[in-house]
Amino acid sequence: MGDTGAQAEVLPTTDDSGVVGTLTVEQQSALNTFRDKVKDVIRPEHDDRFLLKWLKARKFDLNKSEEMLRNSLSWREKNNVDTILEDFESPEVIKKYFTGGTSGFDKEGCPIWVDPLGRLDFKGLCACARKIDLIKHKVYRLELYTKIMKEQSKKLGKVIDRETIIYDMEKVGMRHLWKPGIDTFNQFVTLVEDNYPERLKFIFIVNAPKIFPVIWKLVRPFVAEETRKKIKVFGTTNYKDTLLEHIDADQLPAAYGGTLVDKFGDPRCGDMVGNTV
């Protein structure tokens, strides 16, 4: 866990059980039953791999999985999520100051989301933008990445439906403990957990400050157990080799051990991943 004092339970693992090709007899039976229970709402593109995400997210509890899927499909319809890439454009202040963006793809072809969270002035952003637009911006980016993953799947000839995330917490301090900001971040976490199950491959948290255990205590209740298993927290050292195990150097910003810089020569790739001032 590096030198942050965070709990040792959050170690990165991937669980490939409960997916197509690895199902037990009981899991296959559950999938067959689940498919029949939700046949009135699923679409032709909702294949077994899609259905298994919801089952796995609720540990193959059929009733909970059905409720989760139906609630999510209702949420998508209510909020016009299927057309958000065409219908919504984030306000300029959000596009300019909200951190996060892609640096490329990991070694398996999954997109990488790099987010210099410590450089986000969320309080200032909330003063200049409506909360509903912040949430829509988040959904927009999630749907954009879904589109990117579909394009990658076609390009590589294999299913790409997970992403690798790097959260850079350099400069995170007491100002980031602003309660409305924490509450909104947790709302983002809940939105992802409820509507984009089994999407995460890994989360690498780097440059975690000494107050990280305090922040983690506030966020942890909103993070699913399976998600927590995919998180690795580092202090300011010893993370670059780990990142390079999963990401080729030319896809990783130079500030994190790779060779990638943006068009301005910034080793943090600020032009690609957001405000790095």
Which tokens is 15 given? 């669980």
Quickly state the pLDDT bin for 30 (edges 50, 70, 90).
very high
Is the pLDDT score of 222 beyond 50?
yes
Q: Which two tokens stand for residue 239?
A: 């993370």
The answer to whether residues 56 and 187 belong to one domain is no
Last residue of a domain, one of 80, 95, 118: 80
Residue 193: pLDDT band (50, 70, 90) is very high
Q: What is the pLDDT of residue 12?
A: 56
pLDDT at 56 over 80: yes
pLDDT at 7: 38
Domain housing 37: 25-80
41 and 177 belong to one structural domain: no
Reported for 87-96, long-range contacts at CB under 8 A and 24+ positions apart, including other chains, are: 88/136, 88/140, 90/133, 90/136, 90/137, 90/140, 91/129, 91/133, 93/125, 93/128, 93/129, 94/125, 94/129, 94/133, 94/134, 94/137, 96/275
Same domain, 76 and 98: no
Considering the domain architecture, whether residues 162 and 203 belong to the same structural domain is answered as yes
Last residue of a domain, one of 13, 47, 80: 80
Question: Is residue 212 domain-resident?
Answer: yes
31-45, pLDDT tens digit by residue?
999 999 999 999 999
Residue 16 is predicted with a pLDDT of: 55
Percent of the chain with pLDDT over 70: 91
Write the pLDDT tens digit of every residue in 136-146.
999 999 999 99
Please report whether residue 1 resides in a domain.
no
In a domain, 16, yes or no: no
Q: Using the predicted structure, report yes or no on whether residue 73 has a pLDDT greater than 50.
A: yes
267 and 213 inside one domain: yes
Q: Please determine, for residue 46, whether its predicted confidence score (pLDDT) is greater than 70.
A: yes
Q: Are residues 108 and 63 in the same domain?
A: no
CA dist., res. 2 & res. 239, Å (int) = 9
> Does residue 149 fall inside a structural domain?
yes
Structure tokens at 187: 């709302």
**Distance, C-alpha 53 to centroid of its chain:** 15
Q: Is the pLDDT of residue 257 over 60?
A: yes
Q: Residue 10's pLDDT band (boundaries 50, 70, 90)?
A: very low
Q: 34 and 152 share a domain?
A: no
- Asked whether residue 10 is domain-assigned, the answer is no
What's the pTM value of the predicted model, to 2 decimals?
0.89
Q: What is the CATH number of the domain that holds 75?
A: 1.10.8.20
pLDDT surpassing 90 at residue 122:
no
Identify whether residues 122 and 30 lie together within a single domain: no
pLDDT at 268 over 80: yes
